Structure 1
């Protein structure tokens, strides 16, 4: 499962980059493009770091960053749709993937917290 999620988060980052390249070359388009690229690539990078964590507390801290960054990615995609920088139809699968990843990582964090209380 770990390798599957490594690949899935990396694919999510690649897809967010491809999506952001469709934004118009405007101040707002470039700002949101930068934000989406930053947070979506952070999802993949911080998940990899979480997999190498040397303690439960370190894992929980890194996975918490992953949760925040994937949720932020979702926000920027929604914001781009609202600002009509991109069609919502083109983004449905990305929004669904962000939701699924958020749920997976929240669940992982809860499981790790329960395990550290024993």
Structure 2
């Protein structure tokens, strides 16, 4: 397996797990359901879409899947930023998760750009 694929698989899976834990906290402790559901959808979709993209039939099909994964990563980061600014969760408590989201976005941007250049 390609090393970069392994890294993004690990990072997207770890991001999804941490999002699940955050959503559980938001729902149980803060009674916040709207933003938490959106965060759950986008935060777990990033890795799921990457995994789907691994098994497409052509590079032409790969790029749209990866682009959607990138969009979901951006949406996840936006939701995390909203939570940090809303005061529902301390900014310090979200710092690492936000940084993880940024790293995933950077990797996905790189994959999408290089894939487009190699079509």
TM-score over 0.5 for the pair: yes
Equivalent position of 1:36 in the other structure? 39
Once the two structures are superposed, the pairs formed by residues 3-14 of structure 1 within 5 Å of their partners are 3-14=6-17
Work out whether 1:48 is the aligned partner of 2:47. no
Count of matched residue pairs = 113
Secondary structure class of the residue paired with 1:52: coil
Mapped contact 1:22–1:86 kept (Cα < 8 A)? no
Which structure 1 segments of 5+ residues have no match? none
- Pick the aligned partner of 1:108 from 111, 114, 117: 111
Secondary structure of residue in 2 paired with 1:86 = coil
Matches within 5 A, 1:15-30: 15-23=18-26, 24-25=30-31, 29-30=32-33
TM-score (norm 2): 0.90
Distance 1:110 1:8 in 2: 19
Q: What's the secondary structure of 2:25's corresponding residue?
A: coil
Q: Could you tell me which residue of structure 2 aligns to residue 89 of structure 1? A: 92
- 1:81 deviates by 1.4
Give the equivalent residue in structure 2 for 1:61. Answer: 64
Question: What are the ranges of 5 or more consecutive residues in structure 2 without an aligned counterpart?
Answer: none
TM-score (norm 1): 0.91
Tell me how large the CA RMSD over aligned residues is. 1.0
